């Protein structure tokens, strides 16, 4: 039963994530009125705004202009719903679950915005840093996952500085920007949430995935090494890998 509730809750928040993904980069007020079709601008009726189901019923088209609705809306709602189910499966009904609900929705929003627009909104990273730091004062939280407040603070600073340094060096050597400060802030979020120990692992995993991602294009000569790719989505995937194997890492490190 709790899984069904988590799934429904996740899909509703996924629907909200879709609004943020669309509106945040164009500076449109999140709270501004009802959702509308991005093609014909007609307001979407409440019964056409049911997460996941409406997309299926309308076969991915708008009721008015019958224009195709981007499948991304459906994917975002599905990923959100599934991640809520996984979080509840892992942590039951707890503060940790609430924290991971917040983190997954924000990470999903960041993932899709950065993928398309190459920006990571401060509206998301700043609150996440604050939550990550504040939660480290709760001594009852899972100690394997979450650091104490000192470790959290060091992690945040370490995460920010390491990408800031990469940007700085890269600028000096090549006179161009390889990464943005948005990436630095995102890694600071990860440091605040999971402590300084997570930073080298997340960087390693993200770079590996990013490399695997660009290799086919490099071989086919479709891209040059210098062409821009957003790093935020890879940082998020790297964090996911880190969290999946955190047990082994912590056991190994004692």
Binding residues vs Zn ion (CB under 5 A):
37, 39-40, 62, 64-65
Looking at the Cβ atoms of 2 and 38, the one nearer to Zn ion is 38
Q: What's the closest the beta carbon of residue 13 comes to Zn ion, in angstroms? A: 24
Of residues 17, 21, 7, 11, the one with CA closest to residue 52: 11
Looking at the Cβ atoms of 37 and 167, the one nearer to Zn ion is 37
Residue in the block written with tokens 């993932």: 111
Q: How many CA atoms lie within 13 A of 179 on its CB side?
A: 25
Q: What's the closest the beta carbon of residue 37 comes to Zn ion, in angstroms? A: 3
Instruction: Residue 164: count other Cβ atoms within 10 Å of its Cβ.
Output: 17
Q: What's the closest the beta carbon of residue 62 comes to Zn ion, in angstroms? A: 3
Query: Taking a C-beta distance cutoff of 8 angstroms, is the pair 138, 152 a contact?
Result: no
Looking at the Cβ atoms of 42 and 171, the one nearer to Zn ion is 42
Q: What's the closest the beta carbon of residue 14 comes to Zn ion, in angstroms? A: 21
Looking at the Cβ atoms of 39 and 207, the one nearer to Zn ion is 39
Looking at the Cβ atoms of 64 and 91, the one nearer to Zn ion is 64
Q: Cα–Cα distances in Å, from 42 out to 12, 29, 31?
A: 21, 17, 17
Q: What's the closest the beta carbon of residue 95 comes to Zn ion, in angstroms? A: 41
Query: Taking a C-beta distance cutoff of 8 angstroms, is the pair 206, 200 a contact?
Result: no
Q: What's the closest the beta carbon of residue 214 comes to Zn ion, in angstroms? A: 36
Looking at the Cβ atoms of 38 and 228, the one nearer to Zn ion is 38
Which residues lie across from 43 on neighbouring strands?
36
Instruction: Residue 172: count other Cβ atoms within 10 Å of its Cβ.
Output: 8
Q: Rounded to whole angstroms, how far apart are CA atoms 47 and 35?
A: 12
Q: What's the closest the beta carbon of residue 161 comes to Zn ion, in angstroms? A: 46
Q: Rounded to whole angstroms, how far apart are CA atoms 121 and 189?
A: 12
Tokens read off for 63: 């009721």
Q: Rounded to whole angstroms, how far apart are CA atoms 151 and 154?
A: 5
Q: Rounded to whole angstroms, how far apart are CA atoms 248 and 254?
A: 10
Looking at the Cβ atoms of 62 and 108, the one nearer to Zn ion is 62
């Amino acid at each position: 039963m709790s899984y069904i509730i988590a799934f429904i809750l996740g899909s509703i928040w996924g629907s909200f994530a879709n609004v943020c993904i669309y509106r945040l980069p164009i500076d449109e007020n999140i709270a501004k009125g009802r959702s509308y079709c991005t093609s014909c601008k007609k307001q979407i009726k409440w019964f056409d705004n049911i997460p996941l189901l409406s997309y299926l019923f309308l076969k991915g088209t708008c009721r008015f202009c019958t224009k195709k609705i981007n499948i991304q809306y459906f994917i975002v709602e599905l990923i959100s719903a599934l991640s809520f189910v996984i979080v509840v499966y892992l942590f039951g009904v707890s503060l940790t679950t609430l924290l991971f609900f917040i983190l997954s929705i924000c990470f999903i929003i960041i993932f899709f915005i950065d993928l398309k627009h190459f920006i990571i909104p401060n509206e998301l990273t700043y609150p996440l840093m604050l939550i990550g730091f504040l939660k480290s004062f709760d001594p009852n939280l899972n100690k394997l996952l979450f650091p104490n407040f000192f470790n959290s603070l060091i992690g945040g600073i370490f995460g920010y500085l390491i990408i800031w340094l990469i940007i700085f060096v890269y600028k000096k050597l090549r006179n161009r920007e390889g990464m943005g400060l948005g990436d630095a802030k995102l890694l600071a979020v990860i440091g605040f949430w999971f402590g300084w120990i997570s930073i080298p692992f997340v960087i390693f995993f993200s770079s590996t995935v990013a490399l695997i991602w660009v290799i086919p294009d490099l071989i086919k000569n479709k891209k040059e090494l210098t062409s821009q790719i957003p790093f935020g989505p890879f940082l998020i995937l790297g964090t996911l890998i880190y969290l999946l194997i955190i047990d082994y890492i912590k056991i190994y490190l004692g």
